[in-house]
Chains A and B, each alone.
Chain A
C-alpha cells in the first residue's frame, strides 16, 4: 500500500502523513469516492466494511471549520487595475479645493509608479448622494450599488505593499507581492473543502479573454498541491478546459472508451488491492465524467427568468458581460461552490493613468447594475446572510493627476467593501486623510482583510496552517488581525 507521506492528509489543516481513506475523500475537486466504491463493492472487490469506512471519510469532504462561520461562500468582485476610491466610495472635498495645485507641504510624500507625488491634484467631478438609512455617500458612478448600501460595510482604510499591478494583484490574492504563495480561494478550499462533489470548490470568472496580471497563478496554489487551485470557467457551454471530447467522438464512443479504461484499471487494481493512489485516480475519472454533465448545467443561464436576467443587466450590452458572471456566481453559490472570483476588466483595464473619466464611466457602469443585482437577488433568495460579497481592486488611485486627466496607483490608502455573510452593513470602517492618500484610521492591511474574510467563513487565520519546507505557512504570512467592526 502506498500511503507514505503524501500531500493530502486527514489532520485538519495539516499536511503530513496521510490516511488512505481520507486521501480518497479529497481527490479530484474534493469529493468522495463513493461511486467507485459502490462499483467495487458491486464487483465484490471490497468488503462492505471498507465501504462503510470510506463513507465516513467521504463525509469529511465538507471539512469542519474552526468555528461556525457566517459565510458559506465568498464572491469576490475584483476590479482589475485599481478603481479610484476617491471617485466612488470615499469622497474628498479637499481634492477639489486643491485641484490644479500640488498636495500641501504637510502631506507626507510617497513613491508612486509614475512619480506623480508633486503633480497637481485632479478634480473629481463626481456627484455624491447619501443612500439608505445609513446615509453613506456613494458617487454617481455607482447608483445601483448605492441602493444596497445598508447591506454594505465600506472599509475606507485599506492599504497594501505593492506599487505595480502584478505584485499588488498577487498580494490581494495571496498575501504576498512576490509570486509563489497559495491564493485566498485555495486557502478556503483547503480549509473548508467542497460542498459539491461534481464541481470545483474555487471558480474564477473573467469578463473578457485577457487574464489578470500574473495569469492563472493568482488563483493558483503556489507551494500547496494543485487540488485546491481555482478553476477558470470559460465562456460558453464548455466552461472547463477539455470538459468534452472533440466533436467527432460521439457520446457512446466516449463512454465505451471510458468503460474500457475502467476495466483496465480494475484489472490492474486486482493485484494492487487497496492502493490509494490508484483508487483515487479511478475516482478522478468518475468525477471528470460527472462534471461533463454538471458543469454545463450550472452555467446554463437560460434556466433563469427574464426578470432575473434583467436584474443583472443581461439585457444591456454594457452590463451583460459582468452581469452574466454575477448571475453565474449566484448559481454556483447555490450549488455549493465555496469561493468565486469575478474579474472586472481583467488584464488591468481599470488602470486609468489617463482619461479616468472615460475609463471609470465604462467600468463602473459595467459592474454597477450587475453587482447590485447580485446583492438583491441573493437577498430575496435568503442567500445573502450566508454569502460574503466583496468589492475592490489591488489598490486605489491618487488624487494627484497623471497626464492631466488620469490618476496613478495608490496602495497607501484605498477602499474596499464587503456585504452579506455576517457583515454588518450600513457602516463605514476606517478613514483616509483629506486627500485619500494615506489610510489613517483603523488601518486595514491586506493581511487584515484576509484574516477578516477567513474569519467570516469560520477559519482562524492563525490556525490555518500548511507545512512547507519546514515552515508552518499561514494565509496571512504570520501577520494580520481580524477587523472586529466588520462583523454583525
Chain B
C-alpha cells in the first residue's frame, strides 16, 4: 500500500516539476509587466493547446458512462445483507479476507444516530432499540432516524461546507448577510424532505428561471451568492471577476467533483480541462445580478406583470427622469470625492437609472454604489432652493404615480440572483486570469472533454421572458441521468458521510490527482441506484446503512492478541474488512455536550428571523469582531448548525475542532488532534458549566439531592446513567468502581481544600466526573 502511495506521489511530483513551473510563471510575469501585447499572448496560449484530447484523456474513468454492472456472486452468503456487500466481499475474498462480525446493538445505535442526526442516543432510544427483538429492528431504527428533522440539520451541514456557507461577506468589514439564514433553512428542509437531488441542483442553479412562483427556489439561488465579497473593493471590475471565478470553481467542485478552478489562469496541469472550459462554464453565470428582494410569480403572471410594469415606466418616464436628473446631479456633487476612486465605466453604471442598467452595469453598481452612499442632509446641501422646491413637487407627483405602480403578486426578501432583460454579459478567455486581459469572446459551453454523444450538450432557450435560460440549460445537462459525474460525485459524498472517506478519496476532485476509486464497480452500481431511485438521498442512506459492511464492528484488538491477519494485507482498511473508527464533527461534539447535559434546545432554526445564534465566547476573545451574545440561555443552546457563521470569527469551540474556513469548498473536514482542543475542553468555563448541568441531571435521577455522604449505593445508579448518556452503553463493574473511587477522592480533596469545608463538595466531585467524561476519547470517537 505504502509503496503504491510512494509511486503515485513521485509520478505526480514528476508531472508537477515538468509542467507547472517556469513557462507559466515567466509568461505570467511578462503579462503583468505588460511586456507582451495581449493579442500575441492570446495566440501563443491558443497555439499551446491541443486541438483535441489524447485518447488517454478522453478515456479517463470519470468521463466514461456509468456502467450497469450486476453485483458479483460471492461464495459466502452469511455476511451478505445487500448487493453492496457482494461488491466489497468480492474484493476482500480475492485477498483471502472476510468482513468482521456485526457490531453490538449499543454501538450500532450510537453509530447510526450520530451518522444521521449528529446526536447521542437517549436512554429511551437505547431502551427501545435494545428491547426490540424483531428481525427488522435495525431497519425500523434507520427509518425512525431518517424521519427526524434533526437529519437535515446534520446532512444539510455537509452541503453548507461544500458551498462555503457564511452569514457574513468576509474581508475587513465582514458585514452581515442578514438573509443568508434563509438559504441554510432551505438546505435543511431540502434534506429533510428528501428533495430529489436533481431538483436540488435545478433549484440552486436556476430556481429564478425555472420556478419563479416558488419562494424556495428563489432562496435556493443564494447558492450563486456565497462568494466572499469585499464591501469597499477599490477595483470594482476585479471584485466582480473574482466573484464569478469563485462561483465557477465552486460549481466545478460541488456538482462535477472537478478542480476546474485550476484552469482559471492556464490549462489544467493534470486534467483535461482547458482554460477555455473555465470561462465557457463561467458564461452560464455571467448574467446573474444579485437581488435581495424578488417577485414571486408564475410565468404568465410574471409576463403580465412585466408588461404592466413597462407601461407604467413609460407613462412615468418624464417625472422619473427629471427626478433622477436633479437628485443625481446633487448626489454626484455630494459624493465627488468618493467618486474619484472609480473609473468612468463604474461611474456610468452608477449614473444610469436602475431600471435601465445592463447586467454588467448592475454588477458594477452592486460593488460600488454601497461605497458612495450620500445622506439626505448632504444631498440637500447640494440643491439650490429652487431645485429643492421642484424636487418636492416631483416627489409628490411621483408619490401619486406610485399608487398605480403594478405590484407583483408577492415580494420575497432573499439573497437571490436573477437576470435582467438586457441579457448576460459577454465572457472572454482572460489571459493569465487577469480581469483586464480579455483574449477571445466565448459562448457558454460545458467541458470539452466530455463526449457529446454520451450527454447531449446544453441547449439554451429562455425559460421565461427576461432571462437567458443559460443556467437552466446547465442544470438540465448536469441532471441528465447519463451524466458521467453528477450521480457518481453525490453518491460518493453520501458514502463518505458513512465511512469517513469516499470510494473516491477526494470527493471534490475526481481528476487524476486523486487515486482512482477503490471500488469502481460499486461506485457505478450506487450511481445507477441513485438515479433509479429518483435521486433520493435518503434511499441511499437506507441502502448503505443496511449493508453488512456498515454494520460491522470496528477493529478491537488488545495487546495480548496476535495481530489480525488482515492488518498485514490492508492496514489502511481500503477493503472495508472492518468499520472505521471515527471522530465526531465539531458540531456533534458541542451538540453532544449540550444534549448529554440536558441543556440542548433542540428546536429547529433560530428564534428570530435573522442571522445565526450567538453563544458565549471565551472571555476577551476578540476585541475586533462584533458578537453580541444572545441573552436567553435557551437561544444560546441551540444546535451548532444554527450558530452565526461569521467568516472573521468562526465560533471558537467549533473552530478548534476543524470547522472549515468558509472561504473554500470543503469536501471533507480535516481531523486534527491538537493541544488547544484539550485546553478548550479541559478549561473552558462554558464546558465546565455544561458538566455542571450534566451533574445536576444525574442528581435528579433519584428523588432528593445527592446526599452529602457519597457511597456506593447512591453513586452507582448515577454513574450507570452517566455512562449510558455519554457513551451510549452501560458501564461495567470495574468502570463503576473506578468512577466511585475517583468521585470519592475528588470529594475528599475538595472538602479538605475549602475552608470551611464545602457542603457542595459531593456535587462538585460529580461535576468533575461528568467533566472527565466529556474529555474522554470514548465521548468523541465512534465505534
Contacts and interface: CB of A to CB of B under 8 A. Distances in A.
Do the two shown chains form a genuine complex with each other? yes
B581 A275 contact: yes
Contact of A246 (B13, B583, B688, B777): B688
A270 B558 contact: yes
Interface string A286-326: 01100100000000000000000000000000000000000
Contacts of B13: 465, 472
A288 B675 CA distance: 5
Contacts of B131: none
Contact of B768 (A244, A256, A288): A256
B776 A284 contact: no
Contact of A347 (B171, B505, B624, B649): B624
A225 B253 contact: no
B341 A225 contact: no
A55 B778 CA distance: 27
A226 interface: yes
A106 interface: no
Nearest to B649: A215
A45 B559 contact: yes
Given A214-B648, A263-B738, A288-B682, 4 more contacts: A17-B5, A226-B670, A256-B745, A272-B555
A105 interface: no
Given A11-B9, A46-B559, A211-B622, A265 B777 contact: yes
Contacts of B749: 250, 252-253, 256
Interface string B405-444: 0000000000000000000000000000000000000000
A67 interface: no
Interface in A208-255: 209-211, 213-217, 220, 222-227, 231, 234, 240-246, 249-250, 252-254
A214 B168 CA distance: 12
A272 B664 contact: no
Interface stretch (B77-85, B198-206, B227-235, B377-385): B227-235
B230 A164 contact: yes
Given A178-B228, A180-B661, A163 B259 contact: no
A260 B766 CA distance: 13
Given A7-B670, A242-B684, A267 B735 contact: yes
Interface of B: 1-2, 5-6, 8-9, 12-13, 16, 20-21, 24-25, 28-29, 170-172, 228, 230, 232-235, 242, 246, 253, 259, 262, 270-271, 337, 339-343, 500-501, 505-506, 508-509, 511, 513-514, 554-559, 561, 567, 571-574, 580-581, 583, 618, 620-625, 647-649, 652, 656, 658, 661, 663-665, 667, 670-680, 682-685, 688, 735, 738, 742, 745-746, 749-750, 753, 768-769, 771-773, 775-778, 781
Contacts of B625: 211, 215
Nearest to A253: B749
9 contacts: A1-B573, A2-B573, A7-B671, A27-B674, A116-B340, A216-B622, A254-B682, A273-B559, A479-B28
Contacts of A27: 672-674
Given A4-B501, A226-B658, A243 B683 contact: yes
A243 to B, nearest CB: 6
A246 B691 CA distance: 14
B9 A284 contact: no
B172 to A, nearest CB: 4
A462 B246 CA distance: 25
A213 B173 CA distance: 8
Closest 6 CB pairs of A and B: A115-B340, A470-B509, A470-B513, A166-B172, A115-B341, A288-B678
B267 to A, nearest CB: 14
B775 A261 contact: yes
Contacts, number: 287
Interface in A396-422: none
A180 B663 contact: yes
A274 B557 CA distance: 8
Contacts of A284: 673-675, 677-678
A6 B671 contact: yes
A270 B679 contact: no
Contacts of B561: 273
A258 interface: yes
B170 A242 contact: no
A246 B341 contact: no
B683 A244 contact: yes
A390 B649 CA distance: 28
Nearest to A285: B678
Nearest to A271: B556
Contact of A271 (B25, B514, B558, B775): B558
A361 interface: no
A181 B109 CA distance: 39
A4 B171 contact: no
A275 B671 CA distance: 14
B648 A217 contact: yes
A225 B172 contact: no
B574 A4 contact: yes
Contacts of A347: 624
Most buried by A among B557, B618, B621, B683: B683
Contact of A285 (B259, B652, B658, B775): B775
A278 B777 contact: yes
A164 B581 contact: no
Nearest to B512: A470
A179 B672 contact: no
A5 interface: yes
A46 B557 CA distance: 13
Interface in A411-467: 462, 465, 467
A49 interface: no
Contact of A222 (B29, B622, B664): B664
Contacts of A224: 670
Contacts of A210: 623-624
A216 B571 CA distance: 38
A240 B773 CA distance: 24
Contacts of B745: 256
A280 interface: yes
Contacts of A254: 682
B581 A29 contact: no
A57 B673 CA distance: 17
B753 A252 contact: yes
Given A11-B6, A178-B228, A209-B620, A4 B234 contact: no
Contacts of A249: 688
Nearest to B679: A242
B513 A253 contact: no
A253 B746 contact: yes
A242 B664 contact: no
Contacts of A246: 683, 685, 688
Contact of A242 (B340, B580, B683): B683
Contact of A178 (B28, B567, B663, B746): B663
A478 B170 CA distance: 25
Contacts of A211: 622-625
Contacts of B9: 11, 14, 16
A257 interface: yes
Nearest to B567: A1
Contacts of A393: none
B501 A287 contact: no
Interface string A184-223: 0000000000000000000000000111011111001011
Given A213-B172, A225-B658, A288 B738 contact: no
A470 B679 contact: no
B509 to A, nearest CB: 3
Contact of A226 (B514, B674, B750, B778): B674
B753 to A, nearest CB: 5
A132 interface: no
Contacts of B671: 6-7, 277
A163 B777 contact: no
A268 B782 CA distance: 12
Nearest to B343: A111
Contacts of B768: 253, 256-257, 260
Contacts of A264: 772-773, 776-778
Contact of A253 (B233, B271, B508, B753): B753
